Amino acid sequence: MSKNRCGWCVGDLLYENYHDDEWGVPVYDDATLFEFLILETFQAGLSWITVLKKRENFRKAFDNFDYKKIAEYDTSKVEDLLRDTGIIRNKLKVKATITNAQVFMKIQDDFGSFSKYIWDFVDGKPIKNEVVYYKEAPANTPLSDTISKDLKKRGFKFVGSTVVYAYMQATGMVNDHEVTCFRYRQV
C-alpha cells in the first residue's frame, strides 16, 4: 500500500520527496533557516514548485546560501545574478536577499541566533494543527502577521504575512500536514 501524503505534493517526485524529508520538520540551525527564508522570499507571488526546481541553481548562484558572503555582495555580483537564467531573475528580490542577509546577521548579534529569535514566537515548540484537507490550511494567521511586522520592522524585505506563514510551515514552526498524512505524527 502506498503512503498517504498531503494532497498538494502527490504526483510529482521532487515535491513528494521534499514533503517527506523536509516540509514541516522543525529546523533549528541558522544556515537552514536562512536558506528557507531566501527560498520563501523568492517564492513570493510564484508557486513553491517553481522555486524547488531551481533550488540547486540558487545554491550555486548564492554561495551555498552563505549569509556572510551574501551580505557582502556588490553591484557586479547583482548583475551576474540577474544574468543567471537558472534562478528567478527579479532585481528587487535579488537585492532584498543581500539586505536580508545583513539583517539576519544583526538578529544573530542581538539574540544569539536567528533560531532563538524566530522560535521564541512559538515558545520554542511547533504548533500542531489538525488540517483535514490541505486547502483548508490558512494562508496566513494573526501570528504570521505579528512575525511579518517584526521582520519588516527589523529591515527584512519580501516577508509579507503569507510568505512568513509558508516559512513557518516549511521550517516546522507549525505542523500543517493533513491528519491522515503519514508525516503528521512523525515531524
Site residues for Zn ion per CB under 5 A: 6, 177, 181, 183
Least CB distance to Zn ion at residue 6 (A): 3
The CB-of-183 to Zn ion minimum distance in angstroms stands at 4
As given in the structure block, the three cell numbers for residue 90 are: 527579479
Binding site feature residues for Zn(2+) = 6, 19, 177, 181
Helices (H), 84-141: 91-111, 114-119
Dihedral (Cα; 30, 32, 36, 42), 10-degree rounding: 90
* Of the candidates 122, 102, 105, the residue with the CA atom closest to the CA atom of residue 114: 105
Instruction: For cell 527564508, name the residue.
Output: 37
Rounded Cα gap, residues 165 and 110, in angstroms? 23
**8 is a catalytic site residue:** no
Instruction: Tell me, yes or no, if 48 is annotated catalytic.
Output: yes
The catalytic position among 48, 67, 73, 117 is: 48
Where is the binding site, in residues? 6, 19, 177, 181
Q: Which is nearer to Zn ion, 54 or 177 (CB)?
A: 177
**Euclidean distance between CA atoms 109 and 126, whole angstroms:** 24
Q: How far is the CB of 175 from Zn ion (least distance, A)?
A: 9
Active-site amino acid positions? 18, 40, 48
